[in-house]
Amino acid sequence: MSAPVFSPAILRGAALAAILAVGTATTALAQDDDNPWPIQIDDERATIIVYQPQPESFAGNVVTARAALSVTELGKTEPVFGVMWVSARLETDRDTRTARILDIEVTAVRFPESTAEQEQTLARIIETEVPQWDLEISLDRLSASLALLEERRATNDQLKTDPPVILVVDHPAVLVTIDGDPIIEDIDNTDMKTVVNTAFAIIYEPGTKRYYLYAADSAWYASPEVLDGWETTNAVPDKVSGLIPPDTTEAASDSTRPADAEIPAIIVATKPTELIVTEGAPQFASVEGSELLYLSNSQSDVLMDIDSQQYYIVLSGRWFRAGSLEGPWSFVAADSLPATFQDIPPESEQGPLRPYIAGTDEARDAVMDNQIPQTAAVKRSEAKLDVQYDGDPQFEPIEDTEMEYAVNTQTSVILAEGKYYAVDDAVWFVAARPTGPWVLADSVPDVIYTMPPSAPVYQVKYVYIYDTTPEVVYVGYYPGYTGSYVYHTTVVYGTGWYYHPWYATYYYPRPVTWGFHVRYNPWYGWSYGFGWTNGWFTFGIGFGGGWGWRPCCYGGWWGPARYRAGYRHGYYHGRRAGFRAGYRAGYRAGNRPSTRPSTRQNLYRNQTNRARTAQARPATGNRRPSSAAGRPNNVYADRNGNVQRRNNNGSWDSRGSGSWNPNTGGGNRAGGSPSNMNRDYQSRQRGSSRTQSYNRSRGGGGGRGGGGRRR
């Protein structure tokens, strides 16, 4: 008999959330291997087993998938196998790497072995049972499965790949970045001044006619000039030191004052710059399993290809090549690196470089992860915005478009098609005038998504409106909003463009790419570092002004904070080993976190958004499905709606005529060929491995600082 297909009307509503349910290690679904699949529905009429779904698309906040399942009716012993297709709207949380299921619609169900009566019975069971469940999805399993889809590479050829200034020194040093020429302003209610266009705390005291740079733990530098001449000092006026908030961070275990020769020199840069520091003359060691060497007495990620005798360095996810460490450096696309780069073992010290190397599993994972948005529902009643301008609103054209953007505010405000649109913490607002009143937007013009990277407000094109109701607006943002982009099949940080800041009465910084030792971590995105120390010596980052805590790519740098990493003892005897071990266990840090907050912090949970976002809730009740303990997670659905089973020896069986039959991949069933099914199997295995690694990193604590192994 022909295989009937259910009408969507039969299974409408929250009819099949089960096929997407993944759960986490903290839920009742978890088994010893952190994998709840398959899951089981126990109903008075039948037992339904649902196997791990296979996503087919993910657009906006809607995922579609197919899944194999079986139903054993009461009083019978033989199950009937079938395939179901579903569409679901998700609310994602990248902090916990899970997503809540908000709405489910089953679009089709196919049971080759069933009768029409059995199909109707199954539909009724699912329709009444599943809406009561409280379900989550693992983003790592979802991401791994999405890697099988046709890749929606977001490669943008307009990203800048020009190298920054790359400095090389053979002694301890810290890079202090100033955004252009120093801008020096009065500090309110004092006779002192500060450099406002830097993330570092630099204070000028007129009595001594000296500048003071705070290095935390009561350590200071002083100089008569901002750009040069910095030396450590113990003679800091009380009114200067009194401006710095108390350091509440714990001292590192190796907090002993370094010898004078080990105290870092200060290098001030007013242009996009990165710093390579070696302890003495450069030394190289072999990268196991490859024809590569790595710079062993440095925290910088520098490799040498033995065959070509070329040096390679990765900065903000971009590779640069030179014939010597002194340069000149030129950009190399990640898919044009020497083949031996892919030989770097994942478990090795250089394993964390693999996300930047095209063709590796880590690079594919990072690209697919970049296509998963952070989502939320914003309440109309609580969504408010007040845009502050430095004087009257001023607008400038956006290159190659008919749009304009506001230059004298820290809020991203765009004039498009006669209206003003603003993004505040990944939420769109609209107004008839640049000063408001602002209301939550129901939509934005498509032209906004043609924004070129040359625009300082480029990141807003990664903020979306998915749907609306009278009460809420469903919104989301992709990692591009926080500076993570796909370029040449890998992820990079920042656009590479230099954007001039605004300065009049106030200073408004623009997104930056260089100068902050940005590194990628598979669980927490891009993280930031600033300088080094051996535990005793720690730089304070940010003083006063409007820097805020935020990542640099959507307004502001980071507020008062501390950066601790290993210089000498901390690095050579702790940081490197700790990070290497942490990478193998899901970036579980071996030492204290060494970087600033990551780009994956959920903006919809911050102080601004907390009150205006609605909490996702299951339709009814809060029941969780049970795990089908003891059943292997080895049943799949092919693209044609056939049910396939993978055996322990790697062979495949097809379900038909009430039994399993060997599948040789012949005939017209290309969707069920062993090669296609093996890709699904490998994806499922990798997703499970990533979920386990993430859960271990959560249990280990301290993992959120990962990604700062070296500079």
- Same domain membership, residue 381 and residue 352: no
- Same domain membership, residue 635 and residue 670: yes
- Same domain membership, residue 451 and residue 396: yes
Q: What are phi and psi of 367, to 5 degrees?
A: -65, -45
SS3 498: coil
- Beta-carbon contacts of residue 124 (< 8 Å; ≥ 6 apart): none
- Beta-carbon contacts of residue 646 (< 8 Å; ≥ 6 apart): 634, 636, 652, 677, 681
Label the pairing between strands 184-186 and 173-177. unpaired
Nearest CA to 612 out of 411, 426, 414, 372 is that of 426
**By residue range, what is the domain housing residue 131?**
17-152+619-700
Q: Which pLDDT belongs to residue 8?
A: 32
Residue at 599: amino acid letter: T
What percent of the chain is predicted at pLDDT more than 90? 36
- Same domain membership, residue 349 and residue 391: no
Tokens of 228: 């040069």
More confident call, 663 vs 673: 663
- Same domain membership, residue 109 and residue 51: yes
| 404, pLDDT greater than 50 | yes
Torsion of Cα atoms, 226 then 228 then 231 then 233, to 10° = -20
Measured at the CA of 170, the angle between CA 164 and CA 176, to 5 degrees, comes to: 45
Tokens of 282: 């450069």
Read off the pLDDT of each residue in 549-557 and give the average, rounded to a whole number: 32
Tokens of 69: 């399942």
- Same domain membership, residue 448 and residue 322: no
- Domain boundary among the residues 335, 369, 403 is at 369
Residue at 633: amino acid letter: N
The DSSP code sequence of 256-304 is: -PPPGGGSPEEEEESSSEEEEEBSSS--EEE-TTSSEEEETTBSS-EEE
- Same domain membership, residue 121 and residue 62: yes
Model confidence pLDDT, tens digit, residues 122-171: 666 655 565 555 567 677 666 655 554 433 334 456 899 999 999 999 99
Inter-residue contact 405 to 415 (CB < 8 Å): yes
For 189-214, letters b (16+ CB in 10 Å) and e give: eeebbbbbbbbbbbbbbeeeebbbbb
Q: Which pLDDT belongs to residue 36?
A: 66
| CB count in 10 Å sphere of residue 138 | 26
Q: What is the mean pLDDT of the chain?
A: 75
Measured at the CA of 235, the angle between CA 230 and CA 240, to 5 degrees, comes to: 85
Helix intervals (H) in 202-278: 238-241
- Same domain membership, residue 398 and residue 287: no
- Domain boundary among the residues 458, 481, 504 is at 481
- Domain boundary among the residues 339, 369, 399 is at 369
For 529-554, letters b (16+ CB in 10 Å) and e give: bbbbbbbbbbbbbbbebebeebbbbb
Inter-residue contact 71 to 82 (CB < 8 Å): yes
Nearest CA to 198 out of 212, 184, 218 is that of 184
Torsion of Cα atoms, 409 then 413 then 415 then 417, to 10° = -170
| CB count in 10 Å sphere of residue 242 | 9
Question: How far lies 585's CA from each of 349, 355, 522, 523, in Å?
Answer: 13, 16, 12, 11
More confident call, 122 vs 540: 122
Model confidence pLDDT, tens digit, residues 1-22: 333 333 333 333 323 333 333 3
- Same domain membership, residue 379 and residue 365: no
In a domain, 4, yes or no: no
Q: Which pLDDT belongs to residue 542?
A: 45
Residue 560 pLDDT level (bands cut at 50, 70, 90): very low
SS3 for 113-180 is: CCCHHHHHHHHHHHHHHHHHECCEEEHHHHHHHHCCCCCCCCCCCCCCCCCCEEEEECCCEEEEEECC
| 248, pLDDT greater than 60 | no
In a domain, 309, yes or no: yes
Q: What are phi and psi of 87, to 5 degrees?
A: -125, 130
Residues β-bridged to residue 330: 321
Q: CA-CA distance, 585 to 576, in Å (whole number)? A: 14
Inter-residue contact 176 to 214 (CB < 8 Å): no
In a domain, 8, yes or no: no
In a domain, 638, yes or no: yes
- Mean pLDDT is highest, among 46-55, 155-164, 291-300, 673-682, for 291-300
In a domain, 222, yes or no: no
Inter-residue contact 404 to 394 (CB < 8 Å): no
| 708, pLDDT greater than 70 | no
- Same domain membership, residue 388 and residue 334: no
Residue 627 pLDDT level (bands cut at 50, 70, 90): low
In a domain, 536, yes or no: no
Q: CA-CA distance, 38 to 700, in Å (whole number)? A: 27
- Same domain membership, residue 137 and residue 37: yes
In a domain, 385, yes or no: yes
What's the distance, Cα to Cα, between the start and end of the chain in Å?
Answer: 65
Tokens of 391: 């004087």
> Domain count of the chain?
3
In a domain, 251, yes or no: no
- Same domain membership, residue 623 and residue 694: yes
